[in-house]
């Protein structure tokens, strides 16, 4: 079976089989892909209101990729110039071979390997094992500091205390300043943004405030529930003045600030809705069943699994990735006429 791709522009020149293709993972808009977001499972033990409905149906396990296939994808992307990797889900700690996969990845020559987790399955021993195996950074999802609201948002039995304990375990294991992601929703948790800033000051954390995006499976997103990054910063600055930090990474999705009084901690504001940053995007996403999504809001996907299951040569995987990346759309188009929310939720796509 041949796998064909739709074409949005001229195809990049072919490479000689076995040739290193560093820098050839690019799109028609001049953006070079150096960052891979790889989902290792679509499953999650939370049902967060901005992501999953309570009765969500996950993919059959036989449709998900095997560990060796994830490793082949990462290797192919590394050969094409990808330097940074983030493991995502669903909730990646639900992937049964996660520890072995992290050890496999640690043997590759990548500049940075990070993972986003809800923290439910992390203790100091496991964090130390990940750190020794080559995981460089951990980011935690936490959207409230109130226990009653935690149950309402996650629709689970987890607790704020459990997530904060996981954050402490990461620090104990030697990870650098942990990051905590808060999705801010008007009328749900926007009254807590200053409390999260206070947590950053007290615990020397990197708190990132993320605008609510149209990626919920309930499809209830609307602009009226978006609490913008400017509103978030203003709410914090009513209590503590902030100063902008220099941005050494032009591809960063976060605009970062520090406390003007030199208190510990750092705050980042991610504004995909009110201030899109698509022009500097250097990311490629691959789902847990091997679908390439050049953009988080793509409606088109390209399936790597047939090539992996046929054990196609590495050069064939590389050319397929090159063609898929070439079709990366210029931007997500949120707020523009004709914008359509993707069918998949964030859990199925991988953040």
Q: What is the spatial order of strands in the sheet that 179-184 belongs to? A: 242-244, 255-259, 266-270, 206-211, 179-184, 137-141, 112-117, 84-88, 35-39, 283-286, 291-293, 302-303
Virtual torsion, Cα 218, 52, 254, 123, nearest 10 deg: 170
pLDDT band at 6 (very low <50, low <70, confident <90, very high): very low
Residue 320 vs residues 15, 75, 248: alpha-carbon distances, Å: 12, 14, 32
Report whether pLDDT(176) > 50. Answer: yes
Mean pLDDT of the chain: 87
Global pTM reads 0.88
Question: In 3D, which of 185, 209, 193 has the Cα closest to residue 48?
Answer: 185
pLDDT in tens, 73-124: 999 999 999 999 999 999 999 999 999 999 999 999 899 999 999 999 899 9
Residue 169 in tokens: 């375990």
Give exposure, 310-319, as e/b (b: 16+ Cβ within 10 Å).
eebeebebbb
Counting residues of the chain whose pLDDT is more than 70, the rounded percentage is 84
Pairwise pLDDT comparison (31 vs 259), residue with the higher score: 259
Domain residue extents for the chain: 35-349
pLDDT in tens, 33-61: 999 999 999 999 999 988 888 888 899 99
Average pLDDT over residues 311-330: 92
pLDDT in tens, 272-307: 887 866 767 888 999 999 999 887 777 788 999 999
Report whether pLDDT(20) > 50. Answer: no
Q: What is the CATH number of domain 35-349?
A: 3.20.20.70
pLDDT in tens, 210-250: 998 766 566 676 778 899 999 999 999 999 999 999 776 66
By the 8 A CB rule, do 275 and 214 touch?
A: no
Counting residues of the chain whose pLDDT is more than 90, the rounded percentage is 67
């Amino acid at each position: 079976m041949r796998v064909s791709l739709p074409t949005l522009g001229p195809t990049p020149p072919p490479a000689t089989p076995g040739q290193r293709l560093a820098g050839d993972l690019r799109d028609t808009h001049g953006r070079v892909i150096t960052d891979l977001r790889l989902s290792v499972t679509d499953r999650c033990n939370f049902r967060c209101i901005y992501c999953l409905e309570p009765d969500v149906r996950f993919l059959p396990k036989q449709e998900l990729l095997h560990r060796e296939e994830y490793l082949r994808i990462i290797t192919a992307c590394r050969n094409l110039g990808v330097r940074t990797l983030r493991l995502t889900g669903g909730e990646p700690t639900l992937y049964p071979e996660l520890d072995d996969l992290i050890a496999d990845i640690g043997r590759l020559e990548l500049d940075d390997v990070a993972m986003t987790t809800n923290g439910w399955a992390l203790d100091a021993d496991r964090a130390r094992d990940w750190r020794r195996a080559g995981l460089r950074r951990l980011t935690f999802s936490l959207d409230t500091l109130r226990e009653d609201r935690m149950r309402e948002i996650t629709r689970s039995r987890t607790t704020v205390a459990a997530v904060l304990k996981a954050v402490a375990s990461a620090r104990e294991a030697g990870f650098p300043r942990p990051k905590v992601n808060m999705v801010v929703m008007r009328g749900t948790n926007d009254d807590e943004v200053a409390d999260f800033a206070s947590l950053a000051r007290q615990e020397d954390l990197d708190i990132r405030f993320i605008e609510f995006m149209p990626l919920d499976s309930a499809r209830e997103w609307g602009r009226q529930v978006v609490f913008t990054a400017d509103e978030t910063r203003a709410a914090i600055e009513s209590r503590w003045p902030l100063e902008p930090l220099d941005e050494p990474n032009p591809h960063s999705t976060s605009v970062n600030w520090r406390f003007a009084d030199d208190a510990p901690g750092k705050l980042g504001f991610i504004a995909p809705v009110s201030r899109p940053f698509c022009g500097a995007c250097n990311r490629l996403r691959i789902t847990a069943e091997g679908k390439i999504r050049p953009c988080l809001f793509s409606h088109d996907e390209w399936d790597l699994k047939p090539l992996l299951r046929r054990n196609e040569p590495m050069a064939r995987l590389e050319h397929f990735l090159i063609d898929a990346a070439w079709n990366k759309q210029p931007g997500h188009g949120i707020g523009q006429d004709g914008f359509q929310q993707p069918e998949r939720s964030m859990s199925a796509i991988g953040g």
